[in-house]
């Protein structure tokens, strides 16, 4: 069965690097013309090139126009709910790294329901269940039980947990989960192997094919992304776009979303190898919108409030708000170890107010399971 692995391994990473760094202004202008005509951009590598840097203003204007045309004036809100900070992996950049000495906890189903209830009362109807990757601490059956209880109150339940096989994803869907989020972290295999020295996550290919397994199982939403700061953003941007295009075409019933998580300080004091500036983050978001006009683009509370407000009109469709990154953090802040520090510490109501102030409608619910039944 073919997967994105076939596409990935048919390309040579150094050749792609040469293509991106060798793109000319002419290549960029050609891509921009295609985008403004609403046509498919074949040479989208040019939009990630250094030659595109000076066209950022033009890219931003186009990105804004395309997003408004496709999505209207809305920003979808969601909240992450951390279930467990126990993990079998030792990702160098993450606070949940199994080697870090933090307070570990896996919430009980009742504690999770309490956290979910607090989010419900704040207005959220879209929720993302997040966990460290530890099958022993959070078995599939427990996840299914959690989902089947949570989905009664939330119109959309997504998971960001360990990668599963296709049958396991199908079980998640039948338990009420409709969205899958799984980040490749970086598409540079050498860097990937360096920052994932041990644990099941070391298997680059198994992770890379997870969105395919999710697509075949039938998730309504599939979210992908690279962890910005691990490797060169231009290449990770290109490969993310390639991956998203492949998924859009192959699993046309699923809505593809792309997130732009930038590395944040976390327990372990990891040194960011390839920092991404604010301007480069904006460049990435705008390029992605021109290449993928229908994709959901997600910006989380990893970014500061002022930057999120500034980027909001440029292509973003979905934002988290009021996030806690430790299990139990909504009812007992700081009670357990966090995954990373959030930057935008505004409450969900404050974020919604800011969205309104910028001329957009904050949307707490835009879908219901009854649409497909
Ligand atoms: S990034 Fe995910 S898999 Fe890696 S240590 Fe953190 S929680 Fe575990």
For the segment 272-284, the average pLDDT, to the nearest whole number, is 96
201-221: average pLDDT: 98
Proportion of the chain above pLDDT 90, given as a percent: 93
In this structure, whether the domain defined by 71-366 belongs to CATH 3.20.20.70 is answered with: yes
Check pLDDT > 70 for residue 266: yes
Q: State the distance from the centre of ligand 1 to the C-alpha of 190, rounded, in angstroms.
A: 18
- Mean predicted lDDT score pLDDT of the chain: 95
Average pLDDT over residues 57-81: 97
Residue nearest to atom 5 of ligand 1 (CA): 97
* pLDDT(216) > 60: yes
**Which of 233, 223, 221 has the alpha carbon at shortest distance from 186?**
233
**CA-90 nearest atom, ligand 1:** 5
Boundaries of every domain in the chain: 71-366
Q: How confident is the model at residue 365 (pLDDT cuts 50, 70, 90)?
A: confident
How far is residue 330's CA from residue 357's CA, in Å, rounded to a whole number?
26
- Predicted confidence at residue 154, as pLDDT, reads 96
pLDDT digits (tens, 9 = 90+) for 322-346: 999 999 999 988 888 888 889 999 9
Q: What is the pTM of this model?
A: 0.96
Q: What is the pLDDT of residue 371?
A: 64
Rounded percentage of the chain residues whose pLDDT exceeds 70: 98
Which pLDDT belongs to residue 369? 67
Answer yes or no: is the C-beta of 89 below 6 A from any ligand 1 atom: yes
Q: Is 296 helix (H, G, I), strand (E, B) or coil?
A: strand
Which 3 state secondary structure label does DSSP give 94?
A: coil
pLDDT band of 243, cuts 50, 70, 90: very high
What separation in Å is there between the alpha carbon of 343 and the centre of ligand 1?
20
d(CA 350, CA 333): 19
Return the pLDDT at 335: 82
Mean pLDDT of 223-237: 98
Residue 293: per-residue pLDDT: 97
**What would the mean pLDDT of 205-226 be, rounded to a whole number?**
98
Mean pLDDT across the stretch 78-96?
Answer: 96
**Ligand 1 geometric centre to CA of 96 (Å):** 6
CA-based nearest residue to 305, from 289, 320, 285: 320
Residue 18 · residue 234 · CB < 8 Å: no
User: Using CA positions, which residue lies closest to atom 2 of ligand 1?
Assistant: 132
pLDDT at 268 over 90: no
Residue-level pLDDT at 373: 55
Measured from the CA of 134, which atom of ligand 1 is nearest?
Answer: 8
Q: For residue 124, what pLDDT is reported?
A: 97
Distance 316 CA to ligand 1 centre (A): 25
Exposed/middle/buried for residue 57 (C-beta within 10 Å: 0-12, 13-18, 19+): exposed
Q: Looking at residues 19-26, what average pLDDT do you find?
A: 98
Question: Which DSSP letter does residue 282 get?
Answer: H
Average pLDDT over residues 205-209: 98
The residues facing 298 across adjacent strands are: 259, 318
The rounded distance, in Å, linking the Cα atoms of 225 and 105 is: 27
Per-residue pLDDT tens digits for 105-126: 999 999 999 999 999 999 999 9
Single out the residue of 76, 81, 52 nearest to residue 158, CA to CA.
81
Look at residue 272 in the predicted model and tell me its pLDDT: 93
Confidence of residue 372 (pLDDT cuts 50, 70, 90): low
Q: Ligand 1: which residue has its CA nearest to atom 4?
A: 91
Ligand 1 atom with the smallest distance to the CA of 87 is 8
Ligand 1 atom with the smallest distance to the CA of 94 is: 6
């Amino acid at each position: 069965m073919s997967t994105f692995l076939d596409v990935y391994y048919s390309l040579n990473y150094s050749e792609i690097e040469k293509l991106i760094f060798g793109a000319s202004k002419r290549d960029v202008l050609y891509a921009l013309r295609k985008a403004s005509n609403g046509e498919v951009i074949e040479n989208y590598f040019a939009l990630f090139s250094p030659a595109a840097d000076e066209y950022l203003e033009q890219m931003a204007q186009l990105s804004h126009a395309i997003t408004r045309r496709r999505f209207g004036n809305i920003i979808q809100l969601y909240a992450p709910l951390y279930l467990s900070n126990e993990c079998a992996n030792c990702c160098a950049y993450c606070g949940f790294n199994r080697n870090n000495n933090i307070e570990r906890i896996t919430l009980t189903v009742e504690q999770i329901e309490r956290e979910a209830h607090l989010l419900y009362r704040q207005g959220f109807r879209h929720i993302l269940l997040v966990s460290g990757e530890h099958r022993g601490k959070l078995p599939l059956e427990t996840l299914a039980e959690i989902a089947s209880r949570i989905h009664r109150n939330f119109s959309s339940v997504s998971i960001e947990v360990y990668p599963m096989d296709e049958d396991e994803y199908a079980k998640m869907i039948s338990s009420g989960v409709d969205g899958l989020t799984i980040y490749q972290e970086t598409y540079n295999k050498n860097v990937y192997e360096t920052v994932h020295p041990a644990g099941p996550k070391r298997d680059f290919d198994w992770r890379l094919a997870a969105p395919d397994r999710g697509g075949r199982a039938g998730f309504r939403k599939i979210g992908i992304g690279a962890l910005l700061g691990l490797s060169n953003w231009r290449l990770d941007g290109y490969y993310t776009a390639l991956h998203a295009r492949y998924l859009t075409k192959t699993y046309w019933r699923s809505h593809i979303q792309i997130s732009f998580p930038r590395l944040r300080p976390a327990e372990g004091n990891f040194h960011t190898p390839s920092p991404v500036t604010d301007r480069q983050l904006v460049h990435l978001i705008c390029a992605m919108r021109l290449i993928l006009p229908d994709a959901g683009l997600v910006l989380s509370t990893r970014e500061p409030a002022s930057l999120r407000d500034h980027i909001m009109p440029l292509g973003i469709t979905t934002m988290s708000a009021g996030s806690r990154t430790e299990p139990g953090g909504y009812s007992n802040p700081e009670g357990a170890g966090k995954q990373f520090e959030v930057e935008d510490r505004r409450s969900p109501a404050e974020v919604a107010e800011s969205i309104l102030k910028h001329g957009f409608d904050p949307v707490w619910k835009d879908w219901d399971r009854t649409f497909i039944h």
